Amino acid sequence: MTETPDFQALRAAMVREQLVERDIADQRVLAAMGRLERERFVPTAYQAHAYADRPLPIGEGQTISQPYVVAYMLQNLALNGDERVLEIGTGSGYQTALLCLLAAEVISIERLENLSRQAAARLAALGLSNVHLIVGDGWLGAPQFAPYQAIVVSAAAARLPKPLLAQLDEGGRMVIPVRERRNPEEQTLVLIRRTRCGLRARRLCGVRFVPLISDQAAAQDN
């Protein structure tokens, strides 16, 4: 017989060792990640590893991001609780749930219906209702709810999606992994800010995400 892991202790250790001891200092992000049960968002077979310092498979060839990467992206969004946020790549719904705790309203797009459906059930079970899930191509964003004070993309794009830039509010922040043109195996996490004077981009660090799959992006290549 296997014992049920002490998830609460594992969660507290994850926050301390993987987040605080690195460079996560946003107290709201730390509190939300200290509270949200990540084990609810991983397949049963991986539950014992829910707080491991790495991504985990969630089916359909996709992954739930490493806790640190989620924290780092959220910290760079600098949320204060008033924002309408757009997320591309709902996946397991873990980051979506954190956004529900950290912002006013969340719109999240996932291209795989099955993953979106499972995420919806998890969010509902947690009583999180300030969220609107959409099945579709996130490259296009969701202009019907724009502008967004924050946009976070959880899959690596070949370049910056113009529709998303257009939906970013003045003063808004967007975090997105972008594949390097010279070596598509390499990805860089980029922070975009829309100021009164236009868009500002800053490279944050190297990352490894599953690819953003988009017919729209492909069509625009031609």
Which residue ranges make up the site for ligand SAH (CB under 6 A)? 58, 62-65, 88-89, 91-92, 94-95, 109-112, 115, 137-139, 154-155, 210, 212-214
User: Quick check: bond before 147 cis, omega within 30?
Assistant: yes
Which helix (H) or strand (E) element contains residue 115? helix 113-125
CB of 179 to ligand SAH, least distance (A): 13
Residue 124 CB, nearest distance to ligand SAH (Å)? 17
Nearest distance, CB of residue 214 and ligand SAH, angstroms: 4
Extended beta strands in 40-179, E state: 56-59, 62-64, 84-88, 105-110, 131-135, 148-153, 168-179
Q: Would you call 145 exposed, middle or buried from its count of C-beta atoms within 10 A (0-12, 13-18, 19+)?
A: middle
Nearer to ligand SAH, 91 or 172 (CB): 91
Report d(CA 51, CA 56) in Å as an integer: 10
Single-letter residue type at 167 = Q
CB closer to ligand SAH out of 18 and 65: 65
Report, in Å, the least distance between residue 65 CB and ligand SAH.
4
Minimum separation from the CB atom of position 137 to ligand SAH (A): 5
**Looking at beta carbons only, is 20 or 213 nearer to ligand SAH?**
213
**Residue with smaller CB distance to ligand SAH, 63 or 76:** 63
65 is catalytic: yes
Q: Which is nearer to ligand SAH, 162 or 200 (CB)?
A: 162
Write out 180-207 in H/E/C secondary structure. CCCCCCCEEEEEEEEECCEEEEEEEEEE
Instruction: Write down the catalytic residue from 65, 92, 116, 214.
Output: 65
> HSE (CB half, 13 Å, CA atoms) of 169?
14
Nearest residue to ligand SAH, by Cβ distance, number only: 91
Question: Which residues on adjacent β-strands are paired with residue 104?
Answer: none
Residues assigned a catalytic role: 65
